[in-house]
């Protein structure tokens, strides 16, 4: 069967070779060169700023900003950060990459076409290789419901993780933009590599035309264009080519969920559900999950690798076999 994290027991996956691209940052507007590099088993995903000589682990507790993207940084050096990590994180997680270095020479991951598809293309071009990972946690299993909420009443935004007993991430999300071409959209997905590629990877980021001037005045969306974002003006989609899917908007929001939850440090086995959830709530959800040791356990949990949250793991249990 297809698993969200296809591997043999005790094995991890990294890239066969380095591969890169060049693009611009959605918010910074700056040209950025990005290279995906292999990493040793247990390294997890790490962002390397070659212009500063600094590495930042791709972990939820290193998130420093969630305004229209997820940005990672260091508490010791707040000026050192990497913005818009969610699309490349979604691609790595969706393709089953455990260990990799994301190397870039600027402050933001390039936006490319606004989706995860270009990063999936790079990963597919170089290919993956299994490496010894015996003793390293392969997943994080949700043991009891965890929920976070913003606002009150039926329009409140919320996100939730629940146990399923399964070996992958199940997800459902509803978004609601009344009076626009977006409207109310819902989607359910079982996040396997095959389904990620087919259902989520090509969905592009989007914005409302009325927000563009405000965002640019705030120093955001400096590199945004119709080439890397869907722009909606009331009932109209302004992009000449239209949408890639009728519900591309909710597909992209679910893609963001996959990328944001990948900052757990290992694939999550459980069910995500959300209503109008964004980067901030997704990060709050991970922080709530790891705030209580009764909420989760590592699968298996023999040793604590550097890539996972610095907490004492639960009693080990043998993982179920997941076959690609």
Average per-residue pLDDT for the chain: 88
Contacts of 196 (CB under 8 A, 6+ apart): 90, 94, 95, 258
Task: Give the model confidence (pLDDT) of 56-77 as tens digits.
Answer: 999 999 999 998 899 999 877 7
Longest dimension (CA), the chain: 55
Return d(Cα 243, Cα 232) in angstroms, integer: 11
Q: What is the pTM of this model?
A: 0.88
Task: Give the model confidence (pLDDT) of 80-121 as tens digits.
Answer: 999 999 999 999 999 999 999 999 999 999 999 999 999 999
- What domains can be seen in the chain, in order of their start residue? 11-132 (3.30.230.20), 139-299 (3.30.1700.10)
**Which residue of the set 27, 87, 269, 279 is catalytic?**
279
Task: Give the model confidence (pLDDT) of 170-179 as tens digits.
Answer: 999 999 999 9
Q: Tell me if 4 sits within 8 A of 169, measured CB to CB.
A: yes
87 is catalytic: no
pLDDT at residue 134, rounded to an integer: 63
Q: State residue 254 phi and psi, 5-degree precision.
A: -75, -35
Q: Is 96 helix (H, G, I), strand (E, B) or coil?
A: coil
Task: Give the model confidence (pLDDT) of 142-164 as tens digits.
Answer: 999 999 999 998 889 999 999 99
Q: How far apart are the first and last CA of the chain?
A: 7
Q: What percent of the chain has pLDDT over 90?
A: 75
Contacts of 151 (CB under 8 A, 6+ apart): 157
């Amino acid at each position: 069967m297809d698993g969200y994290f296809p591997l043999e027991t005790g094995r991890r996956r990294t890239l066969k070779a380095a591969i890169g691209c060049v693009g611009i940052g959605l918010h910074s507007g700056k040209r950025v060169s990005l290279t995906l590099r292999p990493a040793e088993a247990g390294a997890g995903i790490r962002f390397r700023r070659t212009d500063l000589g600094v590495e930042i682990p791709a972990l939820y507790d290193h998130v420093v900003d969630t305004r229209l993207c997820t940005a990672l940084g260091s508490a010791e050096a707040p000026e050192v950060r990497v913005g818009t990590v969610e699309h490349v994180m979604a691609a790595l997680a969706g393709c089953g990459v455990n260990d990799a270095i994301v190397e870039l020479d600027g402050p933001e991951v390039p936006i490319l076409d606004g989706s995860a598809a270009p990063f999936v293309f790079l990963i597919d071009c170089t290919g993956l290789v299994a490496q010894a990972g015996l003793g390293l946690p392969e997943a994080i299993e949700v043991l009891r419901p965890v929920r976070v909420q913003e606002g009150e009443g039926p329009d409140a935004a919320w996100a939730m993780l629940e146990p399923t007993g399964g070996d992958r991430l199940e997800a459902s999300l509803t978004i609601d933009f009344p009076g626009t071409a977006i409207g109310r959209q819902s989607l359910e997905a079982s996040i396997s590599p095959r389904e990620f590629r087919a259902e989520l990877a090509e969905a592009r980021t989007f914005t409302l035309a009325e927000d563009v001037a405000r965002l640019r005045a705030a120093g955001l969306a400096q590199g945004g264009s119709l080439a890397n974002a869907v722009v909606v003006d009331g009932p109209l989609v302004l992009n000449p080519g239209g949408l890639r899917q009728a519900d591309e908007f909710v597909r992209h929001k679910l893609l963001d969920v996959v990328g944001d939850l990948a900052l757990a440090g290992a694939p999550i086995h459980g069910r995500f559900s959300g209503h109008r959830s964004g980067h901030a709530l997704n990060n709050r959800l991970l922080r709530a999950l790891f705030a209580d040791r009764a909420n989760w356990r590592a699968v298996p949990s023999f040793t604590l690798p550097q890539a996972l949250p610095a907490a004492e793991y639960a009693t080990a249990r043998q993982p179920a076999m997941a076959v690609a």
